[in-house]
Every structure is written in C-alpha cells, then in structure tokens.
Amino acid sequence: MLKEYKTLLPLVKRYTVFYILGLLALVLTDAGELYIPQLIKQVTNIIAGENFTLQAVGRLVLMMVGVAAAVAFFRFGWRYFIHGASRRIERDLREQVFTHLLSLSSGFYQKMRTGDIMARSSNDMRAIRMASGMALVAFIDGFFLSVAILAILFSQFPRLALITIIPLPFITVIVLLGGKVIGRRFKLVQEGFSRLSEHVQEALTGIRVVKSFVKESWIEKSFHVRNDDNLRRNMQLVRIWGLFFPLITFVSGLSMLFLLYYGGQAVILDDFTPGDFMAFMSYLTMLRWPVMGMGFTINMLQRGAASLQRINEILNEKPDITSKPNAITSRPAGDLKVDRLNFRYQFEGPPLLQEISFEVPRGNTLGILGRTGSGKSTLVRLIPRLLDPPTGSIFIDGHDIRQYLLPQLRAAIGIVPQDSFLFSDTIRGNIAFGNPDATDEQVQRAADISTISRELLSFPHGWNTPVGERGLTLSGGQKQRIAISRAMLIDPELLIFDDALASVDAETEEQILDAFLKTRRGRTNILVAHRVSTLQHADHIIVLDGGRIVQQGSHDQLAQQPGLYRDIYRLQQLTGGGV
C-alpha cells in the first residue's frame, strides 16, 4: 500500500509549511479540548458543594468560553492549512496527470477509454485528497488525544479507567478488519463508476449515430445495466459502512454503561466527586473518536492507495514517440524525402506500407490516390510522427525526422484529416486554434480560402457562433472547411490534406483548390484524395495499392497509362465525379 504513495511525496514536500502549521493548530485544538473537562469538573464541584458562589461559577464559565473560542480559532487553522494542502495536492496531481496525458502517444488512447480516464481524474482524486488530508488529521488527532486522555484517566482514576476502556480496543479491531473489505469494495466501486462514465461519454459523443440508427432504447438499456451495476457495487460498500457504526456505537456504549455502574457507585460512596464523574464522562466520550480515528486512518489510506494505484497506472505509461537527446531544434523548411519506407502497426504480420519511396521538393504539391485501406492515411500520419516511422525512412531537409525536436517538427507540419475535429468553442475560436493572437483580417483571409466565410450570414452570431461539442451544430462540409481554415491560418511549411475535401461538392472543391494553390505557392503540400479532380493540379502523383506505390507521375501521364489511376479517372468521369 505504501509504495503507491511515493507519487505524493514531492507534492507533500511542496506544502510542508502548510502541514507544519496545520499540525501545530491541531495539537493546540486538542489541548484546549482536553482542558475543558477540567473546567467542567471544577464548575460541577462548586455547584454540588457548600461553597457555591455565582462569582466563582461565572469566572469558570468565562474561562470555558475563552478556551472554546481558542479551540474554534485553532480548529479553523488546522482545517485551513491541512485541508488547504490536500486540496492543492489534488489540484497539482490532476495537472500532473493531465500534462502527462498530453505527452502520451495515440497508442495509449486506443487501449484506455476516455470515460475511464475522466473517472480516474475525478472520483479517484477525491479519495487521494482524503488520504492526504483527513487521514493525517485522524491519525495525529487520534494518537495525541488517545495518549493524553489515557494518561489523564490512569493518573487520576486508574481503577475506573481500567474497567471502562476494556471495550474500546474492539472498536479499532472492528475498523481494521473491515478496512480490508472496504479497500476491495472501494476499488470495485471506482471501476464501476469508470464503466458508467465510459458508456455515458460514448453515448453522448455518438448521439448522431445513436439517433440515426434509432438505438436510443438499446443505449438506455445498456445504461441501466451499468447504472444498476454501479448501484450494486456502492450498496455492497454501504452495507459494510452501515454495519460499522451500529457496532461502534454499541461498543462505545458499553464503556459508558461501565462508567455509569462503577462510577455511580463511587460517587454514592464518596470515592468520587460529581465533578470527577462529569470530567471522566467527558474524557470517555472524547476517547471514542481517537479510537475510531485510528481505524478510519487505515481505511482512508487504503482507499487512497486503491485510487493512487489507478492514477499511477496512467503516470507510469511512457510515450511511444519522443524527441531524441540533442535533437535538432531548428524548424524544418519543407523538402520531403521518403526512402524505402516499410511500416507495420505490430511486430507480427506483413507491413502495411512496403518499399515506399518518393521526393517532394520544397514548393511542390504531391498527390496521393488509392483505394480505401491502401495506406494513405497511415503514410501521412508518419510524416509528423503521429505514428513513428523506422529510422532512416523519412527525411525533411536531409535530416531524418526522428532527429528533430518533436514540437518543432509538428509545428512545421499542418494536417487536415478527413474526420475533422472541432472544439466546443466559437467558429472563430476553432479557426484561430493554432494562432490565438490572429487578427480578424487573418481569420477572414483563412475563412475565405476554405469558402466558409460565404456562410457567415447563416450563422446566428457570425464568427462568435458556438459550434457545439465536436461541431455538432455544423454539417460535415462546414466542419471540414473550418478545419481547412484552421490549418491555412498557421501557414505551415508542409501542409497535408488527408481527403479533407471529401464532404464538399465539386464546385466548392474547385474554389478551395484554386485559392489553396495560390496561397500555398512556394510551400510544400500533400493532397490525399479519392477523387481525381482533387489531384489534377498536383506536380506529382503517387498511386497506392496494397501498401505499395503501383504508379506515379503527373495527372496527364497517369491518365494515359493503363492502371488504377486511369480506371478511377474514367469511372469518375462517367459518374460525374471527374474533372
């Protein structure tokens, strides 16, 4: 269990001052609480005695009020500092996890779902906060009060103390034994919540698909299954907790029963003053919390360890794609060369790309055509190292791309995928995502290139119209054109269109390409498409089939050669999809 807490040590050290001040305030709070029963004892003895005076009682009451005020002040102090430290640790750890998530490669997100990550970043963080805050309070408070109270009771009333505390150790035993069960149950609860979060996230993200296939009832039934499973796991945990408190109350009640019986006899026999009895009862009541607190400390630490284990699973993940030591820090200019590239997603099985070789001089445009599954998207994802190519297979400006500093490499390469992702922001915010400081004129110019600007009047708030989650309020063509504007605004040295015009009509496509080629003159471009009309203006075209280059040349050359390109070209002419 303790090995999981190594992750928190640097964060705890960061807030050492908070913990020191908090623990000091906690000890002073306990000291004040320990003194109050002594004042109660004196007041009770004065009232029960023959020398009763209002002045003496009033003086003691004022002292009690003063001590109570000091206790309240120091209680605020330890809560502010210790809970403040645990809240800050929760914030810092969440930032650490999020920063680490941003550094991980796409392979990680293929095996871990977004809903599970969200559950770990929310529910599990709360358990860690309790372990780094309230668990420490329960331990120090329990230890200090237990030692102090037992010392007072045994020094003043040894025989009665020995009798009345007999049931109390059983409280700690109950909590400790149940703690192991709680730790297991709590982990199951967190996993159940993760499954529920995953399902909700997927259902809401894919709401268009759900509605188009009329699968609302199926999604709802699946939700009920996971929701009921989450309830069942929580109820199993609640039953354990529900058993704890009646048992603890019963056992602590035995101590009070012993006090009433034996202490009452002592008062009757004048071995005990009424004040002694009241003070002893106050101390015995106070002792119940420390005995419980020691067990709760273990429980909170176990729950925190279970959650930290889930957080550490993320933090222990290493990114597959990283910059090499002494990487080239200059930004690539755009001369691209691919030399005998072979690539497979896994070590076993045939390569997805085989013996791919071509060159794109700076300022030229390369077109890529191929059937679905021929490896087009995989090829262009290798260039910015979204997938990692083998060493010595892809070069920019004569340097292996693996030698470049990763942020510099990716900053020089823009990519517009077919499935355009938009953020829950305004249209302007999405266009200016790569350059938040862009002027309105720059945004307008980028929007003009993609032709999305001609639909400005149809948006209720112009550029400030929210697009909804993932661009839910926009059509596929509108999302693609906003994504094109986003890439055009940053004007990268190498710009890749991965079938980014698939959702627009032929007329719009022609307008976009004309503006694109004029704006990108002197820059390197790669156009991936299924439509020959998109590629006809490219300087050089390669045709992929089965992961290999089967043809290459200009549009005019390939349109005359027998092969896949001419077949697709003629078919698209017949169906109205050609030039």
Alpha carbon 284 to chain centroid distance?
A: 45
The answer for residues whose C-beta is within 8 angstroms of residue 306's C-beta and 6 or more apart is 127, 183, 186, 187, 190
Amino acid identity of residue 398, one-letter, is: G
- Residue 50: its pLDDT value, please? 62
- Residue 259: its pLDDT value, please? 82
Contacts for 377-380: CB closer than 8 Å, 24+ residues apart: 377/417, 377/418, 377/498, 377/499, 377/528, 378/343, 378/352, 378/353, 379/341, 379/353, 379/544, 380/415, 380/496, 380/498, 380/526, 380/528
Cα(260)–Cα(431) distance, integer angstroms: 77
| Structural tokens at position 61 | 């009451």
| Structural tokens at position 252 | 């602590």
Neighbours of 86 (CB within 10 A): 26
Amino acid identity of residue 95, one-letter, is: E
Domain ranges of the chain: 2-315, 325-412+494-504+521-579, 420-491
Cα(337)–Cα(358) distance, integer angstroms: 6
- Residue 348: its pLDDT value, please? 60
Cα(342)–Cα(402) distance, integer angstroms: 15
- Our CA angle for 376, 380, 384, nearest 5°, is 165
Class of CATH domain 2-315: mainly alpha
| Structural tokens at position 171 | 């409280």
Amino acid identity of residue 485, one-letter, is: S
H helix runs in 453-505, sequence order: 476-490
* 78 neighbors 137 (Cβ within 8 angstroms): yes
Amino acid identity of residue 129, one-letter, is: R
pLDDT in tens, the chain (579 residues): 667 888 888 999 999 999 999 999 999 999 998 998 888 888 888 887 666 677 778 888 899 899 999 999 999 999 999 999 999 999 999 999 999 998 888 778 878 877 788 878 887 898 899 889 988 888 888 888 888 888 888 888 888 888 888 887 777 677 667 666 776 787 788 788 878 888 887 787 777 677 777 788 888 888 899 899 989 988 888 887 777 767 777 877 788 888 888 888 888 877 788 888 888 888 888 887 777 676 677 778 878 888 898 899 899 988 888 898 889 988 888 789 999 999 987 666 678 899 999 999 999 999 999 988 888 999 999 999 988 899 999 999 999 999 999 999 999 999 998 888 888 888 899 899 888 888 989 999 999 999 898 887 788 888 888 887 777 778 888 888 999 999 999 889 999 999 888 878 888 888 889 998 889 888 999 999 888 888 988 999 999 998 999 999 999 999 999 999 999 888 887 765 544
The answer for residues whose C-beta is within 8 angstroms of residue 344's C-beta and 6 or more apart is 350, 351, 352
For the chain, give the number of residues: 579
Alpha carbon 535 to chain centroid distance?
A: 42
Strand ranges (DSSP E) for 313-398?
A: 336-343, 353-360, 365-370, 394-396
- Residue 576: its pLDDT value, please? 58
Q: Could you tell me the maximum CA-CA distance found in the chain, to the nearest angstrom?
A: 123
Amino acid identity of residue 530, one-letter, is: H
The answer for residues whose C-beta is within 8 angstroms of residue 131's C-beta and 6 or more apart is 5, 300, 301, 303, 304, 305, 307, 308
Per DSSP, the three-state class of 187 is: helix
Going by C-alpha positions, the residue among 426, 428, 448, 447 that lies closest to residue 437 is 428
- Residue 349: its pLDDT value, please? 64
Phi, psi of 545 (to 5 degrees): -155, 120
H helix runs in 259-321, sequence order: 264-268, 274-315
User: Cα–Cα distances in Å, from 372 out to 149, 221, 369?
Assistant: 77, 35, 10
* Owner of token pair 């297979």: 393
Q: Which residues pair with 388 in a beta bridge?
A: none
Specify the DSSP class assigned to residue 320.
S
* 343 neighbors 387 (Cβ within 8 angstroms): yes
* 89 neighbors 132 (Cβ within 8 angstroms): yes
Specify the DSSP class assigned to residue 416.
E
- Residue 579: its pLDDT value, please? 43
- Domain 420-491 in the same topology as domain 325-412+494-504+521-579: yes
Cα(72)–Cα(69) distance, integer angstroms: 5
* Owner of token pair 């823009």: 414
The answer for residues whose C-beta is within 8 angstroms of residue 29's C-beta and 6 or more apart is 71, 74, 75, 77, 78
Contacts for 283-287: CB closer than 8 Å, 24+ residues apart: 283/37, 283/149, 283/152, 283/153, 284/153, 284/164, 284/255, 284/256, 284/259, 285/256, 286/33, 286/34, 286/37, 286/145, 286/149, 287/145, 287/146, 287/149, 287/150, 287/165, 287/168, 287/255
The answer for residues whose C-beta is within 8 angstroms of residue 65's C-beta and 6 or more apart is none
Assign domain 325-412+494-504+521-579 to its CATH architecture. Answer: 3-Layer(aba) Sandwich (3.40)
* 433 neighbors 423 (Cβ within 8 angstroms): yes
Going by C-alpha positions, the residue among 201, 218, 213 that lies closest to residue 469 is 201
Tell the CATH topology of 420-491: Rossmann fold (3.40.50)
Cα(212)–Cα(84) distance, integer angstroms: 48
User: Helix crossing, 440-450 with 476-490: angle to 10°?
Assistant: 130
Neighbours of 293 (CB within 10 A): 24
